[in-house]
Amino acid sequence: MKKNISIIGVPMDLGQMRRGVDMGPSAIRYAGIVERLENLGYDIKDLGDIEIGQAERVHNNPETNLRNLKAVAEASETLASKVNDVIGSGDFPLIFGGDHSIAIGTLAGVSPHYENLGVIWYDAHGDLNTGDTSPSGNIHGMPLAVSLGIGHEELTSIGQSSPKIKPENIVIIGARSLDEGERELIKEKGIKVYTMHEIDRLGMTKVMEESIGYLKGRTDGVHLSLDLDGLDPSDAPGVGTPVLGGISYRESHLAMEMLEESGLVTSAEFVEVNPILDEKNKTATVAVALMGSLFGEKLL
């Protein structure tokens, strides 16, 4: 990986309904991420947090079934521009959320730099809903669909082009809560998914070997989008939409270690850390530890 890392915080909490996730970037910094990466020999530039607009009075527009569309779209545009600049400068972009709607902006900023961008979506959820399929209207359940060019034009048009990614270049790892519309889209587009069934049956080593092999031959860069609710709530309790039966802390370290050894990852974001729902900043501490493994931290 590149030895220069630029950090961007996105204190976004408008893509869902539970307050507190806007403090995620601060919690991750408080857990010592800058010092940890500097100790690994990286040059760190912390670019601070982007500004997030106000929630709409009518949170959920009945015409679109999208909560806080304008503010999420504006923040996504700002983030896309910043990420684009970071990659243009030669740095590795590392983004802290905030809810998972921020991936709309991240991928819009990353995608122009690659012909075939790969995505590892490490998450309990598929985030493949649209306004038509979402039970809640929460945009944090839509960023992967938006990045495929599916959804409201105000979101899909962010950045230089649409779609940002191809369905055959996506691997979802850790899925265990999918809505009906998401299941249909996965089958229609042929998206590669490792549910908890596959992780339990094959083991994380095999899942990561297959995922790395699958992406290595077809992509020229890989973005890691890691939602802390991909982990089991016993290891990462401070998330807004916890789902029992998730990936373990140790399995997650193994996954990050294998990604580091592969040299595939060219950008990353860690999202959905909510300190209000957490236990003594445990989830942010887990996020920082996983970043350590992703960037080459080893016991010996």
Catalytic member of 49, 125, 223, 253: 125
Q: What is the CATH number of the domain that holds 144?
A: 3.40.800.10
Percentage of residues in the chain having pLDDT higher than 90: 93
Task: Name the one residue in this structure whose structure tokens are 């297959």.
Answer: 210
3-state secondary structure of 88: helix
Does position 93 have pLDDT exceeding 90, yes or no? yes
Residue 278 falls in the annotated catalytic set: no
- Within-domain flag for 299: no
- Within-domain flag for 57: yes
Q: What is the structure's pLDDT at 2?
A: 73
Residue 113 falls in the annotated catalytic set: no
**Total structural domains in the chain?**
1
Kindly state the tokens that stand for 132.
Answer: 């038509």
Catalytic member of 182, 257, 260, 272: 272
- What pLDDT, in 10s, does the model give residues 174-185? 999 999 999 999
Residue 100 falls in the annotated catalytic set: yes
The secondary structure of residue 280, as a DSSP letter, is: T
Lowest mean pLDDT among 15-19, 28-32, 34-38: 15-19
Residue 229 falls in the annotated catalytic set: yes
Task: Name the one residue in this structure whose structure tokens are 């999202």.
Answer: 271
- What pLDDT, in 10s, does the model give residues 125-144? 999 999 999 999 999 999 99
Catalytic member of 91, 99, 127, 297: 127
> Is there a contact between 49 and 25 (Cβ–Cβ < 8 Å)?
yes
- Where is 43: in which H helix or E strand? strand 43-49
Q: How confident is the model at residue 57 (pLDDT cuts 50, 70, 90)?
A: low
Does position 12 have pLDDT exceeding 80, yes or no? yes
Residue 22 falls in the annotated catalytic set: no
- Within-domain flag for 300: no
Residue 127 falls in the annotated catalytic set: yes
Catalytic member of 77, 99, 140, 297: 140
Catalytic member of 229, 257, 260, 278: 229
Does position 58 have pLDDT exceeding 80, yes or no? no
| DSSP annotation string for 214-276 | HHHTT-SEEEEEEEGGGB-TTT----SS--SS-B-HHHHHHHHHHHHHHT-EEEEEEE---GG
Quick count: other Cβ atoms within 10 Å of Cβ 48? 11
Catalytic member of 227, 251, 269, 278: 227
Residue 123 falls in the annotated catalytic set: yes
Of the candidates 209, 170, 164, the one whose C-alpha atom is nearest the C-alpha of residue 186 is: 170
Catalytic member of 77, 100, 232, 253: 100
Q: What is the structure's pLDDT at 178?
A: 97
Domain containing residue 272: 4-294
Is 0.85 topped by the overall pTM? yes
- What pLDDT, in 10s, does the model give residues 212-260? 999 999 999 999 999 999 999 999 999 999 999 999 999 999 999 999 9
- Within-domain flag for 100: yes
